[in-house]
Structure 1
Amino acid sequence: MPNSTATLRHQLLRSASALVIGLAALGGASHVLAAGKTDNSDYQQQVAACKNGSSSEDRATCLREAGAARQAASRGNLTDPGAAQLKENAMKRCEGLPQSDRIDCEKRVNGEGRVEGSVSEGGILRETVTIVPATAK
């Protein structure tokens, strides 16, 4: 029988990793959302942030996303979702997981568990611990 603690740890890390990747992507795109709110000056500020390294993304990606955001904003296709929409999106990302992982994912989305890190540090790690009793032989 495999070590149940190691198996549980592996499942927790896999679930946490999936959530961190999703949250990092969402956080990385936050500067793009800001570009759609106003005019060319926001675009120039985004480009400056890309060039001086204060963005959380590599320079090429940052410049590409700033340009794409400027283009989308000019068409009126860039919106700033509210907190309810962001939470709904996070819950939808949990739907693709197996049932046991989905429950933990939804707990993390709802603020349960331990939170560590930030978007500017490269990601937010949200951790929940679920104790799974060993099965009898």
Structure 2
Amino acid sequence: MPNQSATLRHQLLRSASALVIGLAALSGASHVFAAGKAGNSEYQQQIAACKSGASTEDRATCLREAGAAQQAAARGTLTDPGAEQLKENALRRCEGLPQSDRIDCEKRVNGQGNSEGSVASGGILRETVTIVPAK
């Protein structure tokens, strides 16, 4: 039969470990709560949009993205890229195209040609016309 003091010591050690883990979790949760307080109303609006079907995504994806955005905001890693960063990203997407298509892609990114549609309606259609003489 185990020694009573050894059993007591073991229980105290387990309790202390549980307390340390609990405090660490509480500390992390309070950080998330404090950081998320400001963005909580935005999160609630996103959730409402997901549930009402106002989002362009299916409900499960919408809810997952809203949760991921809230977590990123709580960590301070949610950023809003500027116009220059968005343009750079768009030009990078042109890099994988063949040279003839890349030139037209870069023209569209730089605002040449026609544009119609919106992100909310499912996308923006950008069009350039290149006249190629017959051989």
TM-score relative to the length of structure 1:
0.68
How do 1:48-59 residues align onto structure 2 when only pairs under 5 Å count? 48-59=48-59
Q: Which runs of 4+ in 1 moved over 2 A?
A: none
Gapped runs of 5+ residues in structure 2? Answer: 1-35
**Match of 2:11?**
none
What SS does the aligned partner of 2:125 have? strand
The CA deviation at 1:134 is 2.6
Check the 8 A contact 1:56/1:119 in 2, yes or no.
no
Structure 2 equivalent of residue 100 of structure 1: 100
Task: Tell whether 2:27 aligns with 1:62.
Answer: no
Paired amino acid for 2:104 = D
Give me the whole-angstrom Cα distance separating, in 2, the residues matched to 1:79 and 1:50: 21
Match of 2:17 in 1: none
- Alpha-carbon shift at residue 105 of structure 1 (Å): 0.5
1:33-90 CA distance string (max 9 Å, x none): xxx9x42111111000111111121111111101111111111111001111111111
More helix by share: 2
Per chain length, whose mean CA-contact separation is higher, i.e. which structure has more relative contact order (CA < 8 Å, sep 6+)?
Answer: 1
Shift of 1:120: 1.6
After superposition, the CA RMSD in angstroms is 1.4
Per-residue CA distance 1:107-128 (angstroms, 9 max, x = gap): 0011111111111211110000
Aligned equivalent of 1:127: 127
Equivalences for 1:9-24 in 2 at 5 Å? none
CA distance in 1, matches of 2:127, 2:47: 34
Secondary structure of the 2:96 match is: coil
Q: Which amino acid aligns with 1:125?
A: L
- Counterpart in the other structure of 2:39: 39
Q: 2:88 corresponds to which letter in structure 1?
A: E
Percent identity of paired positions between Structure 1 and Structure 2: 81
Q: How far apart are 1:133 and its partner, in Å?
A: 2.0
Q: Distance in 2 between matches of 1:39 and 1:117?
A: 29
Q: Secondary structure at the match of 1:39?
A: helix
Unaligned residue ranges in structure 1 (runs of 5+): 1-35
Tell me what 1:19 maps to: none
**Whole-Å separation in 1 of the counterparts to 2:131 and 2:72:** 46
Deviations 1:20-42 (A, max 9, x none): xxxxxxxxxxxxxxxx9x42111
> For the residues of structure 2 that align with 1:39 and 1:73, how far apart are their CA atoms?
8
